[in-house]
C-alpha cells in the first residue's frame, strides 16, 4: 500500500453516517491498510458501520456540544500530527463542517489543501486529483509538490461508490484538543432540516428535476407528484432555485448537489454545463424539452421533444392508472 495511515473525516447525518464519508472510506482502503475515521458527537456509536467500510479505528473528539465543531476537531488532529503519530493523508467530504475543518488544519499545520476533488487516483506513490472546471467542460489534474504531510483532500459527494468491506467493528479512541481560547465561543442556537417525504436527493435511485421550462412556480408541483409516484426525489436547476421557486436543497449542479441515480428525468431543463456537471454521470438520463436543440439531449439516453405541460400530466396519469 502507498500510505501507512489514512484518516477519513466521518460525519453524522441524523442518526446515520453521512454517505460521503462511507464513499471516501471505500476509496481509502485502496491506498492504505490502516484506515481510520475521525469525527465528533455520536460517531463513536458507529463502530460496526464504519468497521464494515474498512475503518480500523474511530478517533472521537469529545466535548463538542451545541457549537461549531471545526475549531476543536482541527486542534485535536493537530495534536496527533505534531506528536508524530498522525496520518499521511486526510480525506474530507465537501460539507460545511468538512471545509471548515480542512481550512483550519491547513492554517494550523502550515500545509496546503486540494479542494473540489471529483476524482482521485494513485499513480506510483502520488495521489492525483481531478477537478471539473469551466462548468464541467474541462477536467483539470492536480497534485502536491510538497513533501510535507498530511496531504489533505476535500472531495465532492458521489466521487466514489459505497463498497462495504465486511470488516470487524472499529476500535473507538478519544482525542483531546489543546487550548482553543475564544475561537470556539460561537454557539449553535438553532438548526433546521428541510422537510422531505421521500429519499434524499443525493441518495435517491430516481431523481425528477424541473427547470425554467415549467413556466411558473406552481407547475413545480408536477415534478414533486411524479417523483412521489416513482418513489424518487425531486430536484431542480439553478435557474428556478435562484428564482425562489424551490429551496436551495433541491438544486442539482456544480454549485448544488451531485447525483448519480439509476434514472434521472430532466423536465424543462435546457442543460447548461453548470447543471450537467451535477447529473451527467447518472446511469440513465431522460430529457423532456420542447427545444430539439437543447444541450440536455447531448447527454440523454432517451429524449422526448415535447411540452412538459403536456407530457408530464400524461405520464402522471399513466402511472396513477397502474397504481
CA distance 230 to 319: 8
User: Do residues 49 and 157 both lie within one domain?
Assistant: yes
pLDDT at 192 over 90: no
User: Do residues 280 and 169 both lie within one domain?
Assistant: no
Q: Describe the chain by its helix, strand, coil percentages, rounded to 5.
A: 35, 25, 40
**What is the CATH classification number for the domain harbouring 238?**
3.40.50.1220
Q: What letters, b where the CB count within 10 A reaches 16 and e where it falls short, cover 268-289?
A: bbbbbebbbbbbbbbeebbbbb
pLDDT at 323 over 70: no
> Which residues face 39 on adjacent strands?
60
Q: What is the pTM of this model?
A: 0.84
pLDDT at position 145: 92
Identify whether the C-beta of residue 268 lies closer than 8 Å to the C-beta of residue 287: no
What residues make up the domain containing 261?
201-322
Task: For 231-241, write each residue's pLDDT tens digit.
Answer: 999 999 999 99
Whether 192 is in a domain gets the answer: no
User: Do residues 177 and 248 both lie within one domain?
Assistant: no
Whether 193 is in a domain gets the answer: no
Task: For 285-318, write each residue's pLDDT tens digit.
Answer: 999 999 999 999 999 999 999 999 999 999 999 9
Whether 216 is in a domain gets the answer: yes
User: Do residues 149 and 208 both lie within one domain?
Assistant: no
Identify whether the C-beta of residue 10 lies closer than 8 Å to the C-beta of residue 61: no
CA distance 111 to 92: 15
Number of domains in the chain: 2
Average pLDDT over residues 109-131: 94
Identify whether the C-beta of residue 169 lies closer than 8 Å to the C-beta of residue 53: no
**DSSP assignment letter at 156:** -
User: Do residues 19 and 157 both lie within one domain?
Assistant: yes
Amino acid at each position: 500500500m502507498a500510505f501507512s495511515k489514512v484518516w477519513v473525516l466521518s460525519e453524522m447525518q441524523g442518526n446515520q453516517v453521512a454517505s460521503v464519508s462511507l464513499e471516501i472510506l471505500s476509496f481509502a482502503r485502496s491506498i492504505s491498510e490502516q484506515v481510520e475515521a475521525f469525527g465528533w458527537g455520536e460517531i463513536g456509536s458507529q463502530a460496526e458501520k464504519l468497521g464494515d467500510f474498512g475503518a480500523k479505528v474511530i478517533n472521537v473528539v469529545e466535548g463538542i456540544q451545541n457549537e461549531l465543531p471545526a475549531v476543536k476537531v482541527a486542534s485535536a488532529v493537530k495534536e496527533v500530527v505534531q506528536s508524530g503519530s498522525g496520518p499521511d493523508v486526510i480525506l474530507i467530504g465537501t460539507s460545511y463542517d468538512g471545509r471548515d475543518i480542512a481550512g483550519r488544519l491547513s492554517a494550523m499545520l502550515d500545509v496546503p489543501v486540494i479542494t473540489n476533488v471529483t476524482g482521485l487516483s494513485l499513480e506510483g506513490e502520488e495521489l492525483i486529483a481531478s477537478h471539473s472546471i469551466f462548468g464541467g467542460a474541462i477536467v483539470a489534474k492536480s497534485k502536491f509538490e510538497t513533501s510535507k504531510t498530511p496531504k489533505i483532500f476535500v472531495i465532492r459527494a458521489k466521487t466514489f461508490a459505497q463498497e462495504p468491506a465486511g470488516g470487524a467493528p472499529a476500535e473507538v479512541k478519544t482525542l483531546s484538543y489543546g487550548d482553543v481560547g475564544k475561537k470556539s465561543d460561537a454557539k449553535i442556537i438553532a438548526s433546521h432540516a428541510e422537510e422531505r417525504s421521500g429519499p434524499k436527493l443525493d441518495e435517491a435511485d430516481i431523481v425528477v428535476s424541473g427547470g425554467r421550462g415549467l413556466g411558473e412556480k406552481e407547475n413545480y408541483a408536477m415534478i414533486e407528484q411524479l417523483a412521489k409516484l416513482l418513489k424518487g426525489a425531486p430536484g431542480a436547476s439553478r435557474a428556478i432555485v435562484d428564482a425562489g421557486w424551490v429551496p436551495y436543497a433541491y438544486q442539482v449542479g456544480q454549485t448544488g448537489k451531485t447525483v448519480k441515480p439509476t434514472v434521472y428525468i430532466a423536465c424543462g431543463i435546457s442543460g447548461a454545463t453548470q447543471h450537467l456537471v451535477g447529473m451527467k454521470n447518472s446511469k440513465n438520463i431522460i430529457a423532456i424539452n420542447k427545444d430539439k436543440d437543447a444541450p440536455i439531449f447531448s447527454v440523454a439516453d432517451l429524449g422526448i421533444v415535447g411540452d412538459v405541460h403536456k407530457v408530464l400530466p400524461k405520464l402522471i396519469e399513466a402511472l396513477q392508472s397502474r397504481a
